[in-house]
Chains A and B, each alone.
Chain A
Amino acid sequence: QITLKESGPTLVKPTQTLTLTCTFSGFSLSTSGVGVGWIRQPPGKALEWLALIYWDDDKRYSPSLKSRLTITKDTSKNQVVLTMTNMDPVDTATYYCAHRRPCGGDCYFSWGQGTLVTVSS
């Protein structure tokens, strides 16, 4: 059974850096083709893809947020960490991490429950 869980602060101040950790089980980020991605959803709005890290440490970022994002992995701990700098109230959202299995396209087979991050002074 695959599970993922996001953890991190629920409240951050504007200009601060957000650090979120995704702790997963049931798969290995050392397996060829596997990845872990981050997707966010502002309240009442659509999904927005943020970043993806592959088993071979290849990384992909949303072009609009690339300058603010860093994604890393710790395979031994089964964790993926996303940092986002210079947080703004518009970054208030539920942040999800998800497991990408090998497929023809970009498909996230399992998702964490999400963590709501509020940006406010």
Chain B
Amino acid sequence: QSVLTQPPSVSAAPGQKVTISCSGSSSNIGNNYVSWYQQLPGTAPKLLIYDNNKRPSGIPDRFSGSKSGTSATLGITGLQTGDEADYYCGTWDSSLSSLVFGGGTKLTVL
């Protein structure tokens, strides 16, 4: 049981937009920055979004992040088959004194 709650799966057609939610509490998302990671099949995770809504260099602006209260959202526009992956949110939990991750969301591009 993960501290952060993500939907197990989402799907959308190529070219469409999808959002992935990450729900937490005041001890984690509510008072700390959120990061998002993409994990393509058989590979290591890759940082997509940090500090709620910043993109590392090289990450296209099709990927966006937002945060409101105790929830965060990853948005992906112009979906491509190459976006099929598992996506994880992560943030510090001040009560646990630990970095925590969501359970992951599998994105399928139909």
| Interface, chain A (partner B; CB < 8 A) | 37, 39, 46-49, 52, 60, 62-64, 96, 103-114
Which residues in window 50-95 of B have CB below 8 A to A?
Answer: 50-52, 54, 56, 88, 90-92
Q: A-B pairs with CB below 8 Å: how many?
A: 73
**Contacting residues, chain B, for A48 (C-beta < 8 A):** 101
A selection of 15 A-B contacts at a CB cut-off of 8 Å is A39-B45, A46-B104, A47-B37, A49-B101, A62-B98, A63-B96, A63-B97, A103-B50, A103-B54, A104-B33, A105-B34, A105-B50, A106-B92, A107-B35, A110-B47
**Contacting residues, chain A, for B88 (C-beta < 8 A):** 46-47
**Contacting residues, chain B, for A112 (C-beta < 8 A):** 44
Q: Is the interface of A mostly helix, strand, loop or mixed?
A: loop
Contact B98 A105 (CB under 8 A): no
| Residue B110 CB within 8 A of the other chain | no
Q: Which residue of A lies closest to B35 (CB)?
A: A107
